[in-house]
Amino acid sequence: ETGVTQTPRHLVMGMTNKKSLKCEQHLGHNAMYWYKQSAKKPLELMFVYSLEERVENNSVPSRFSPECPNSSHLFLHLHTLQPEDSALYLCASSQDLGVAGELFFGEGSRLTVL
């Protein structure tokens, strides 16, 4: 069993749909992250949670709504997305908040917006 699990692995949605991405970590970590990975671009940090509290929101459009009900689970709720939102969305966790530690990534959710 991998440390960080993301579901679904692939998602196709129309611009008017509402869907959610789920991330679960089995490592006992306190911090969780959402990243967006687009082709030929650096990874973009979207949201950071530490002990279930959001500590960073990098100017992400409101059509992306994160939720962290507990330290093991992280969701990304999606609604009225645009085609340019198509990307690989990566969830990651780390023992604590801070940049010195290692990030553990999930395999990602490949999102296609039609």
Partner 1 sequence: AQTVTQSQPEMSVQEAETVTLSCTYDTSESDYYLFWYKQPPSRQMILVIRQEAYKQQNATENRFSVNFQKAAKSFSLKISDSQLGDAAMYFCAWAGYSTLTFGKGTMLLVSP
Residues that bind partner 1 (CB under 8 A): 2, 4, 40-43, 45, 90, 92, 98-100, 102-103, 105-108
The string of DSSP codes covering 64-98 is: EEEEEEETTEEEEEEES--GGG-EEEEEEEESSSS
Nearest to residue 97, comparing CAs of 45, 61, 62, 60?
Answer: 45
Within its chain, how far is the Cα of 16 from the centroid? 20
CB closer to partner 1, 66 vs 108:
108
CB of 58 to partner 1, least distance (A): 10
**22, 78 Cβ separation under 8 angstroms:** no
CB of 20 to partner 1, least distance (A): 21
CB of 91 to partner 1, least distance (A): 10
CB closer to partner 1, 26 vs 77:
26
CB closer to partner 1, 60 vs 103:
103
For the chain, the distance separating the N- and C-terminal CA atoms, rounded to the nearest angstrom, is: 32
CB closer to partner 1, 58 vs 82:
58
CB of 16 to partner 1, least distance (A): 29
**21, 109 Cβ separation under 8 angstroms:** yes
